[in-house]
Structure 1
Amino acid sequence: MFERETQWDRLQEAWQGCADGRTAVVLVEGAAGCGTTQLLRRLTRHAAEGGAHILHAQTASGSPQPPHGVLRRLLHALPAELRPPHSAPGRCTPEEFAAAVRTLAARAPVVVCVDDLQDCDPPSLEHLVQLSRSPHRAPVLLALGQVLGVRGPHAPAPGAPFLHHEEFRRIRVGRLSPRGTALAATSAAGTGPVPAALRLYELTGGNPLLCKALLDETAETAEGATARGEGGGPGPAPDGPFLQAAAACLRRSGPAAGRLAQALAVLGPDASADRAARTAGLTPRTTAHARDVLDAAGLATRWHLRHPAVAAAVLAAPAPHALSALYARAAHILHADGAPATTTARRLLLAHTPAHSTASSTGRPGAAEADGWAVAVLVEAARQALVEDDSAAAVDCLRLARHLSPPGPGRCTLDLRLAELVRRTDPARAEQQLTAPLETLARGELGYRDAALLGRTLLAQGRIEQAGAALEHAERRRAAGERGEDPLRGLLPLAPACADPRSGPAPGTGPLRAATALLWPPAPAGRDETAVERALKDTPLTHRTLDLVLREIRTLVHADHNDRALVWCQKLQAEADRERAPGWFAALGLLHAQALLRLGDPRGARRAAATATEAVEDRGGLVLSALAAVEIAAYTATGEYDAAARHLELPLPDALFDSVHALDLLRARGHYYLATHHPTAALAEFLDAGRLARRWGLDHPRHLPWRTDAAGALLHLGERERAARLIAEQGDLPTGRDPRPQGAALRLRAALAPLAERPGLLTRALEELRRCGDRLEHAHALADLADALQLADEGNRAGILARRAWHLAADCGARALCERLRPGRTDLRTAAAAGPGPSPAGAGRLTEPEQRVAALAAFGYTNREISAKLYVTTSTIEQHLTKIYRKLGISRRSQLPLDLEYDVP
Structure 2
Amino acid sequence: MATGKSELLNSVADEAEARGLTVLKATGLRAERRTPMAVFGQLLLHADQMAEQDTGTTARVARLLDDAKFTAMLRDADNEREEHVRAHVMRSLTLALRGLARGGPLAVLVDDVQYADIPSLQCLQYAMRELRAKPVVIVLGLRTGPHAERPMFSAELLRHPRLTQLRLTTLGETGTEELLRAHLDEAQAHALAPDVHRLSGGNPLLVRALIHDLLAHGPLDHDHRAPVQGADSTLPAGRTVPAGDAYRQSVLSCLHRGADAVLAVARGLAVLDDAASDATLADLLGLDRETVARALRTLAAAGLTDGGAFRHPLARTAVLDDLSREDRVGLHRRAAALLRRHGAEPPVVARHIVATGEVEGAESLDVLWETATRARRDEDVSLAIACLHLADESCPRGERRSEILAELARLAWRVRPSTLGPHLGALRAAFDEGWLAEQAVPVLISGLLWQGRFDEAAEVARKGQVAYEGASAVSGYLASGSVRTTYPTLRERIGAENWPAPHSTWDVLTTPGCDPRGRVGAALNAVLSRGVDPHAADLAETVLQGTRLSDATLETLTAALSVLIYCDRLGRAAHWCDALLREATRLGGPGWQAPLSAVRATIALRQGNAPDAVRYALTALSWISPQGWGVGIGSILATLVSAHTAMGQYEQAMSYLDHHLPEGLPETRYGLELSYARGQLYAAMGRVRPALDDFLTCGELMTRWGIDQPALVPWRSAAAEMHLRTGGEAEADRLVREQLAKCGPGQSRTRAQTLRVLAEVSGLRRHHHALHEAIEELEKCEDRLELVRALGALSRSHHALGDLGQARMMARRAWRIARDARAEALCEQLLPYGDGEAGAAERPARDGEVCPAEELTDAERRVASLASFGHSNREIARKLFITVSTVEQHLTRVYRKLNVSRRKDLPHDLLADTAC
TM-score of the superposed pair, with normalisation by structure 2: 0.69
Confirm or deny that 1:892 pairs with 2:907: no
How far the C-alpha of 1:844 sits from its partner, in A, is 4.9
2:359 to 341, 347, 369: 369
Aligned to 1:796: 802
Inter-CA distance 836–614: structure 2 relative to 1 (3 Å threshold): farther
Inter-CA distance 303–891: structure 2 relative to 1 (3 Å threshold): closer
Q: Deviations over 1:586-645 (max 9, x none)?
A: 433333333343344545544543455456566862455422211212333444322321
2:691 to 682, 685, 697: 682
Confirm or deny that 1:629 pairs with 2:638: yes
How far the C-alpha of 1:449 sits from its partner, in A, is 0.3
Structure 1 segment 381-780 matched on structure 2, within 5 A: 381-391=371-381, 394=384, 398=388, 413-421=403-411, 423=413, 426-429=416-419, 434-438=424-428, 440-441=430-431, 446-455=436-445, 474-480=464-470, 509-510=499-500, 517=522, 522=527, 525=533, 527=535, 532-533=540-541, 535-577=543-585, 580=588, 583-610=591-618, 612-614=620-622, 621-622=629-630, 623-654=632-663, 656-657=665-666, 659-690=668-699, 692-693=701-702, 698-710=707-719, 760=766, 763-764=769-770, 767=773, 770-771=776-777, 773=781, 774=783, 776-777=785-786, 780=789
1:58 to 18, 27, 35: 27
Confirm or deny that 1:101 pairs with 2:76: no
Aligned to 1:23: none
Aligned to 1:251: 256
Question: Which secondary structure state, in structure 1, belongs to the residue aligned with residue 853 of structure 2?
Answer: coil
1:266 to 258, 267, 271: 271
- How many Å separate the matches in 2 of 1:208 and 1:784? 80
| Contact preservation (8 Å) 2:28, 2:113 | yes
Structure 1 segment 185-200 matched on structure 2, within 5 A: none
Matched residue type, 1:267: L
| Contact preservation (8 Å) 1:112, 1:143 | yes
| Contact preservation (8 Å) 1:596, 1:602 | yes
Inter-CA distance 208–399: structure 2 relative to 1 (3 Å threshold): same
Inter-CA distance 460–562: structure 2 relative to 1 (3 Å threshold): farther
| Contact preservation (8 Å) 2:523, 2:563 | no
Aligned to 1:808: 814
| Contact preservation (8 Å) 1:521, 1:551 | no
Inter-CA distance 695–542: structure 2 relative to 1 (3 Å threshold): same
How many pairs are equivalent? Answer: 806
- How many Å separate the matches in 2 of 1:62 and 1:233? 42
- How many Å separate the matches in 2 of 1:750 and 1:319? 81
Residues 210-219 or 590-599, more deviating: 210-219
How far the C-alpha of 1:260 sits from its partner, in A, is 1.3
Q: Deviations over 1:388-429 (max 9, x none)?
A: 445565556556655776787656544543454455565555
Aligned to 2:57: 82
C-alpha root-mean-square deviation of aligned residues, in Å?
Answer: 5.8
Question: Which secondary structure state, in structure 1, belongs to the residue aligned with residue 263 of structure 2?
Answer: helix
Q: Deviations over 1:355-385 (max 9, x none)?
A: xxxxxxxxxx73x324365554444344434
Question: Which secondary structure state, in structure 2, belongs to the residue aligned with residue 527 of structure 1?
Answer: helix
How far the C-alpha of 1:271 sits from its partner, in A, is 0.5
- How many Å separate the matches in 2 of 1:237 and 1:820? 59
How far the C-alpha of 1:258 sits from its partner, in A, is 0.9
Inter-CA distance 345–732: structure 2 relative to 1 (3 Å threshold): same
How far the C-alpha of 1:668 sits from its partner, in A, is 0.7
- How many Å separate the matches in 2 of 1:289 and 1:247? 19
How far the C-alpha of 1:35 sits from its partner, in A, is 5.8
Inter-CA distance 819–52: structure 2 relative to 1 (3 Å threshold): closer
1:120 to 112, 116, 120: 116
- How many Å separate the matches in 1 of 2:267 and 2:591? 40
Confirm or deny that 1:73 pairs with 2:42: yes
How far the C-alpha of 1:582 sits from its partner, in A, is 5.3
Inter-CA distance 468–889: structure 2 relative to 1 (3 Å threshold): farther
- How many Å separate the matches in 2 of 1:163 and 1:202? 38
How far the C-alpha of 1:698 sits from its partner, in A, is 3.7
| Contact preservation (8 Å) 1:838, 1:896 | no
Inter-CA distance 559–288: structure 2 relative to 1 (3 Å threshold): closer
Matched residue type, 1:641: Y
Inter-CA distance 570–140: structure 2 relative to 1 (3 Å threshold): closer
Matched residue type, 1:804: M
Inter-CA distance 482–72: structure 2 relative to 1 (3 Å threshold): farther
Q: Deviations over 1:79-134 (max 9, x none)?
A: 45434548255455644453142355477476655432332345645655776899
Inter-CA distance 798–33: structure 2 relative to 1 (3 Å threshold): closer
Inter-CA distance 371–166: structure 2 relative to 1 (3 Å threshold): closer
- How many Å separate the matches in 2 of 1:818 and 1:298? 70
The gaps in structure 2 that reach 5 residues or longer are 71-84, 226-236, 504-517, 855-860, 874-886, 909-916
Inter-CA distance 309–446: structure 2 relative to 1 (3 Å threshold): closer
How far the C-alpha of 1:455 sits from its partner, in A, is 4.4
- How many Å separate the matches in 2 of 1:601 and 1:441? 46
Inter-CA distance 795–431: structure 2 relative to 1 (3 Å threshold): farther
Q: Deviations over 1:637-674 (max 9, x none)?
A: 44432232122223324553454321211111122233
- How many Å separate the matches in 2 of 1:182 and 1:836? 73
- How many Å separate the matches in 2 of 1:615 and 1:281? 49
Inter-CA distance 555–299: structure 2 relative to 1 (3 Å threshold): closer
Question: Which secondary structure state, in structure 2, belongs to the residue aligned with residue 57 of structure 1?
Answer: strand
How far the C-alpha of 1:796 sits from its partner, in A, is 1.8
Question: Which secondary structure state, in structure 1, belongs to the residue aligned with residue 25 of structure 2?
Answer: strand
Q: Deviations over 1:684-730 (max 9, x none)?
A: 43354445545655443321334554555566667788777766776
- How many Å separate the matches in 2 of 1:392 and 1:271? 23
Inter-CA distance 164–614: structure 2 relative to 1 (3 Å threshold): closer
How far the C-alpha of 1:460 sits from its partner, in A, is 8.4
- How many Å separate the matches in 1 of 2:678 and 2:575? 29
Matched residue type, 2:322: A
- How many Å separate the matches in 1 of 2:608 and 2:238? 59
How far the C-alpha of 1:805 sits from its partner, in A, is 6.0
Inter-CA distance 442–900: structure 2 relative to 1 (3 Å threshold): farther
2:853 to 829, 838, 844: 838
| Contact preservation (8 Å) 2:526, 2:536 | no
- How many Å separate the matches in 2 of 1:429 and 1:375? 24
| Contact preservation (8 Å) 2:262, 2:298 | yes
| Contact preservation (8 Å) 1:557, 1:565 | yes
Matched residue type, 1:838: A
Confirm or deny that 1:147 pairs with 2:143: yes
